[in-house]
Amino acid sequence: MKTGVLGGTFDPPHVGHLRMARLAQAQLGLDRVLFVPCCQQPLKGTLPVASAFHRAAMVALALAGKDSWLLDVRELDRGGISYTAETLEALATAYPRDHFFLIVGGDSLRTFRQWHRHPDILVAAELAVVPRGTAAADLGELPKKRIHTLRGRHLPVSSTQVRQRLAQGEPVPGLVPRAVAAYIQRQGLYGSGRPKAGRRID
């Protein structure tokens, strides 16, 4: 089975994440994509804003109706700093017959050589890179055959942008799936309990 692994903070999940899975699945013929929310991202200097519970719940809502897209909570269960190399090892043990593709944005590829045990990551999985409007990464000595750049225009959306809009009481139409927008509003996440003039956020 060809399995995509899409790790992220998902704080919150947005349409850019879903598009990454769609592009990778279509262009690499993936049988399924595992969405893996991290506990703590090693290179992000800050902790996630929403709790692990809320981020997992939002990813589950974002994936509803997509049978081949699955939530995998092993990094949240493991706790602490989430190292992708460890996650891929655990996945290889859980699914020994699978061939793994790690799906990342172009910005992540630029920092890839700083990732913990990055050579091991490239042994455990091939990389599927989704353009994100950043300059091409310097791949140096990395094995180019294991790195696939997917075709597709950059979708300019980020979790930071979504959080900022919500904190200002702005709507986020088309930036997050509707069910995620409804959940954020119900739970009052990211300061969305204070929408301008009681506006809906989706």
Min dist CB 47 to ligand ATP, Å, is 11
Min dist CB 194 to ligand ATP, Å, is 21
Q: With respect to ligand ATP, which residue has the nearer C-beta, 11 or 75?
A: 11
For position 137 contacting ligand ATP by CB under 6 A, the verdict is no
Please identify, among the stretches 12-20, 65-73, 79-87, 139-147, the one whose residues bind ligand ATP according to the rule CB under 6 A: 12-20
CA–CA distance, 76 with 38 (Å, rounded to integer): 6
Q: With respect to ligand ATP, which residue has the nearer C-beta, 17 or 54?
A: 17
CA–CA distance, 21 with 15 (Å, rounded to integer): 10
For position 155 contacting ligand ATP by CB under 6 A, the verdict is yes
For position 4 contacting ligand ATP by CB under 6 A, the verdict is no
Which residue, among 132, 152, 155, 191, has the nearest Cα to 12 in the 3D structure? 191
Min dist CB 17 to ligand ATP, Å, is 6
Q: Restricting to residues 27-86, name those near ligand ATP by CB under 6 A.
A: none
Q: With respect to ligand ATP, which residue has the nearer C-beta, 80 or 96?
A: 80
Binding residue for ligand ATP, selected from 5, 18, 20, 181, defined by CB under 6 A: 20
CA–CA distance, 196 with 118 (Å, rounded to integer): 45
For position 134 contacting ligand ATP by CB under 6 A, the verdict is no
Binding to ligand ATP by CB under 6 A, coded x per residue (else -) over 102-121, reads --xx-xx-------------
HEC string for the chain: CEEEEEEECCCCCCHHHHHHHHHHHHHHCCCEEEEEECCECCCCCCCCCCCHHHHHHHHHHHHCCCCCEEECCHHHHHCCECCHHHHHHHHHHHCCCCEEEEEEEHHHHHHHHHCCCHHHHHHHEEEEEECCCCCCCCCCCCCHHHEEECCCCCCCCCHHHHHHHHHCCCCCCCCCCHHHHHHHHHHCHHHCCCCHHHCCCC
What is the size of the binding site for ligand ATP (CB under 6 A)? 18
Binding to ligand ATP by CB under 6 A, coded x per residue (else -) over 159-198, reads xx--------------------------------------
Residues near ligand ATP (CB under 6 A): 8-11, 16-17, 20, 104-105, 107-108, 130, 132, 155, 157-160
